[in-house]
Amino acid sequence: MRHIGAVLLAIDVIKVIQLYESLQKCGGENYMNQNEHIEQLIQNSKRRVEIALKIQEIYQKYINNDEAFTEMIEMVDSYCLPWIRKTLWKTGCYNDENEYSILQEAKIAVWKNIENDKKQKITREKFAYFAFNFYKYRTLDLIRSISRKRAKRGTEFSLDETLGDNKNTLGENLSEDIIKKETKNELEEYEKRTVYTKLFHTYCLAFMNSAAFPPRSLALYYARVLPHLLCVNHNEKTIPDSKATSAKWAFERMGEKTIENLKNDSEKTLQIDIADDLCWCEEFVRQLNEKADIENEDIYLKDVVYTAVYNKGKIEDWADYTHKAVTKAARERVINDSELLILVKEYVSQKDVLYNFVKGGERK
């Protein structure tokens, strides 16, 4: 049987640089050929299906007392590693120790669940997908923890920052190779930040210029955008695991404020922290100044206390629905901005290749 773990072979950072250079030579554009990019995503998907099937086969054998635990867990690692590496790379948290720590903790959680399945004679239909969630939440927990430390310290990285479990500091680990790699990483980091800031600005413009009913747009801001933005610096958990929105947090945050106050608060926060030009559009303000028929009372929408009228279920529905609509509107804005479109295509197509090489792993 092919040993999946062996396909993740080490290469050095030079290969990453060569890859970058070769990508840049393609037709004078900085992104991969369209066909190659999609083909790669298709092949990745096929490979994952193949591994998932193999995992299922070994998992069923193990549940039936056929000893194959080590092999199975190696396969699960291989199945989850691309996503873990991509996510660690994306958030600037990649190093061997972080990866190792996630794998170890997730393995223990998976093992406990398998033992439980065994006792109860349960066989899960899609075990790889089930196991993937353990790896996913360990990864997100670790990134959250690192991000909080960084936020407390400011954006600058310290030479005294310990890297992983071996307690070595960044300063101690600096060598020529690492400096080379760091320079490359800084470039990637800069490009990623540029894409993220421009895209997020576009996303904010899209929801602030939407003609949607104002409480819907406010639901998106308070239940999805704000809790996520505060998740790193907030002492309490603003958003639960596996949830894209937190209507509960939004409800508490909104308190007894009127829609007009929420409009002003959200606008100020976005202007201070994101960009000066973010303000709710004329249509939004016009609707606020219209009378709304709330429980047979003729009242201006701006004077309505949001949480007195709209419940958590409504907020959650609206936040999710509005996010979809806003994503579409933001996408159209990017499509009409040729410079940003090129930047985004370059980032997306290169990213899908580059994260595979963060550790120096190359698929055969």
Cβ proximity to other proteins, 182 vs 265, nearer residue: 265
Tokens 């929801």, located at residue:
207
Q: Between 65 and 155, name the residue whose CB sits nearer to other proteins.
A: 155
In whole angstroms, the minimum distance from the beta carbon of 335 to other proteins comes to 6
CB of 321 to other proteins, least distance (A): 12
CB nearer to other proteins: pick between 118 and 192: 192
Q: What share of the chain is helix, strand, coil (3-state, %, to 5)?
A: 70, 5, 25
CA–CA distance from 211 to each of 220, 224, 250, 291, 326 (Å)? 14, 19, 22, 17, 11
Looking at the Cβ atoms of 62 and 355, the one nearer to other proteins is 355
Instruction: CB nearer to other proteins: give 65 or 336.
Output: 336
- Cα 206 to chain centroid distance, Å, stands at 20
Distances (CA, A) of 226 to 92, 106, 238: 22, 29, 9
Residues 6+ apart with CB under 8 A from 111: 69, 73
Nearest distance in Å: CB 235, other proteins: 8
| Residue 251 Cβ vs other proteins, minimum distance, rounded to whole Å | 16
For residue 298 the two structure tokens come to: 């003729």
Q: What is the DSSP letter of 162?
A: B
- Minimum Å gap between C-beta 73 and other proteins is 19
Min dist. Cβ of residue 267 to other proteins (A): 8
Q: Which two tokens stand for residue 100?
A: 């190792």
CB 210 within 8 A of CB 326: yes
Closest to other proteins by CB, 151 or 174 = 151
